[in-house]
Amino acid sequence: MKVCMDHPLHQELLARLERELEVLPDKPDETPRNTLDCLWALVAGHPLALSQVEAAELVELDRAGQERLRQLVASRLANMPLAHLTGRQDFMGLVLLASQAALVPRRETELLGWSVLAKIESTGAARPLVVDLCTGCGNLALAVAIHAPRASVWGSDVSPQAVELARENARFVGRPDVTFVAGDLAEPFDHPDFLGRVDVLICNPPYISSAKVDTMCAEIREHEPRLAFDGGPFGVQILLRLLKDAPRLLKPGGWLLFEVGLGQGGPMHKRLAGLPAFAEVESIRDVKGDIRVLAARRSAIAGVDRPA
Ligand SMILES: C[S@@+](CC[C@H](N)C(=O)[O-])C[C@H]1O[C@@H](n2cnc3c(N)ncnc32)[C@H](O)[C@@H]1O
């Protein structure tokens, strides 16, 4: 039997979620209704991402299933991220596996992903080499691999758990050729196959100050890896290392693209513009007008490639 909206359990749990669910601004797709439907589908044996649930038909649950659903709703209201309950998350049109092993990909990071695709297109390379540092669950690397199928894509993360999840995601989306390796920032690519050969270097690093991470809401602080957020005392520790390491990897004319936190865009643009290793710097703004992505083109002129 299919469940309709006036099913008593659906009505009861929907009313509870409407009263109590707090949706975080960086997970804007979640509503009480689609949260409930995702959890319902999960109990029925169909783990779905939010983008998939509208088309799904919810089936009647037996008594044990109804109890399990109540528990899941309670867990969500106790700040467990929906993606951790369902094990699924949308990103740039892909459905990915999600878990506590890595950051749940955010909608806002799609700005970086789409900007990367535009730059890949602009390089005109027949088989562009793309490297994604701080890859987490592999969302950016895999979105590039799916949307730019000619690219040869690699990803890395310092967290072995994140790398394992990224590898699972590569199989899950049908791109097992995307290679994920563990290591500290650019170190895994310190090899002649990569040095001076990368067309597009991507990074969504941790960029929140250590003190601020301690004050983040419970849904993030208690469930997602601190490593994914903590950018050191001023939030820019990894960002500054990235600016230093990127020129060695990029080929002349290649692009570095990375995400920044609110308020970091202006100062980072200035810093990049002062580095001789980069010839061109672009600030990319979100719909609210905030700079959230920076793009910098590696200088093509010999002799200006000394690091910062
Ligand atoms: C903000 S998350 C980004 C995850 C994913 N790329 C995304 O866009 O959703 C930052 C990631 O950087 C990783 N990380 C932190 N420090 C690192 C380092 N020194 N070297 C490599 N990765 C690091 C974390 O493990 C985490 O997966």
Q: What is the CATH number of the domain that holds 162?
A: 3.40.50.150
Q: What does the alpha-carbon distance between residue 256 and residue 307 come to, in Å, rounded to a whole number?
A: 14
Q: How far is the CA of 283 from the centre of ligand 1 (A)?
A: 21
The predicted model scores a pTM of 0.96
Beta pairing, strands 152-157 & 179-182: parallel
Listed residues 56, 86, 116: the one ending a domain? 86
Q: Name the residue of 100, 157, 185, 260 whose CB sits within 8 Å of the most ligand 1 atoms, as the mutation to test its pocket.
A: 157
For residue 88, give the nearest of 77, 73, 100, 99 by alpha carbon: 99
Atom of ligand 1 nearest to the CA of 112: 8
Asked if residue 111 and residue 79 are part of one domain, the reply reads no
Asked if residue 142 and residue 283 are part of one domain, the reply reads yes
**Residue 62 pLDDT:** 95
pLDDT in tens, 266-292: 999 999 999 999 999 999 999 999 999
Ligand 1 and 32: CB distance under 6 A: no
Listed residues 52, 86, 120: the one ending a domain? 86
Residue 133: how many other CB atoms lie within 10 Å: 31
For residue 200, give the nearest of 138, 277, 242, 257 by alpha carbon: 257
Structure tokens, 258: 């990375």
Asked whether residue 157 is assigned to any structural domain, the reply reads yes
Asked if residue 177 and residue 35 are part of one domain, the reply reads no
Q: How far is the CA of 162 from the centre of ligand 1 (A)?
A: 9
Which amino acid residue places its CA nearest to atom 27 of ligand 1? 136
Asked if residue 174 and residue 48 are part of one domain, the reply reads no
Angle at 96 between CA 92 and CA 102, to 5 degrees: 105
Asked if residue 268 and residue 153 are part of one domain, the reply reads yes
Instruction: Write the DSSP symbol of residue 230.
Output: B
Asked if residue 125 and residue 66 are part of one domain, the reply reads no
For residue 132, pLDDT over 50 is answered with yes
Please say whether the beta carbons of 132 and 189 come within 8 A: no
- Domain total of the chain: 2
Which amino acid residue places its CA nearest to atom 24 of ligand 1? 228
Q: What does the alpha-carbon distance between residue 165 and residue 1 come to, in Å, rounded to a whole number?
A: 36
Inter-CA distances, 22 with 27, 107, 112, 166, Å: 10, 17, 26, 28
Please say whether the beta carbons of 158 and 135 come within 8 A: no
Please say whether the beta carbons of 115 and 187 come within 8 A: no
Range of the domain at 252: 107-298
Determine what percent of the chain is predicted with pLDDT higher than 90: 92
Asked whether residue 306 is assigned to any structural domain, the reply reads no
For residue 74, pLDDT over 90 is answered with yes
Ligand 1 and 186: CB distance under 6 A: no
Q: How far is the CA of 47 from the centre of ligand 1 (A)?
A: 26
Ligand 1 and 158: CB distance under 6 A: yes
Among 5-9, 128-132, 259-263, name the one with the lowest average pLDDT. Answer: 5-9
Asked whether residue 63 is assigned to any structural domain, the reply reads yes
Residues 6+ apart with CB under 8 A from 168: 97
Q: Name the residue of 92, 94, 99, 103 whose CB sits within 8 Å of the most ligand 1 atoms, as the mutation to test its pocket.
A: 103
Asked if residue 172 and residue 50 are part of one domain, the reply reads no
Q: What is the CATH number of the domain that holds 46?
A: 1.10.8
Asked whether residue 303 is assigned to any structural domain, the reply reads no
Mean pLDDT of all residues belonging to the chain: 95
Which amino acid residue places its CA nearest to atom 14 of ligand 1? 134
Confidence of residue 307 (pLDDT cuts 50, 70, 90): very low
Residue 26: how many other CB atoms lie within 10 Å: 11
Asked if residue 25 and residue 174 are part of one domain, the reply reads no
Asked if residue 162 and residue 286 are part of one domain, the reply reads yes
**Residue 260 pLDDT:** 98
Asked whether residue 1 is assigned to any structural domain, the reply reads no
Q: What does the alpha-carbon distance between residue 226 and residue 305 come to, in Å, rounded to a whole number?
A: 34
Q: Is the dihedral of CA 292, 298, 304, 306 positive or negative?
A: positive
Ligand 1 and 102: CB distance under 6 A: yes
Atom of ligand 1 nearest to the CA of 109: 8
Which amino acid residue places its CA nearest to atom 5 of ligand 1? 136
Asked whether residue 94 is assigned to any structural domain, the reply reads no
Confidence of residue 301 (pLDDT cuts 50, 70, 90): low
Listed residues 86, 117, 135: the one ending a domain? 86
Asked whether residue 171 is assigned to any structural domain, the reply reads yes
Which amino acid residue places its CA nearest to atom 4 of ligand 1? 136
Burial readout 228-258 (b: 16 or more C-beta within 10 A, e: otherwise)? bbbbbeebbbbbbbbbebbbbbbbeebbbbb
Q: What does the alpha-carbon distance between residue 214 and residue 216 come to, in Å, rounded to a whole number?
A: 6
For the chain, the distance separating the N- and C-terminal CA atoms, rounded to the nearest angstrom, is 65
Q: Is the dihedral of CA 285, 290, 291, 292 positive or negative?
A: negative
Asked if residue 139 and residue 48 are part of one domain, the reply reads no
Q: How far is the CA of 209 from the centre of ligand 1 (A)?
A: 14
What would the mean pLDDT of 4-10 be, rounded to a whole number? 84
Among 6-10, 175-179, 286-290, 296-300, name the one with the lowest average pLDDT. Answer: 6-10
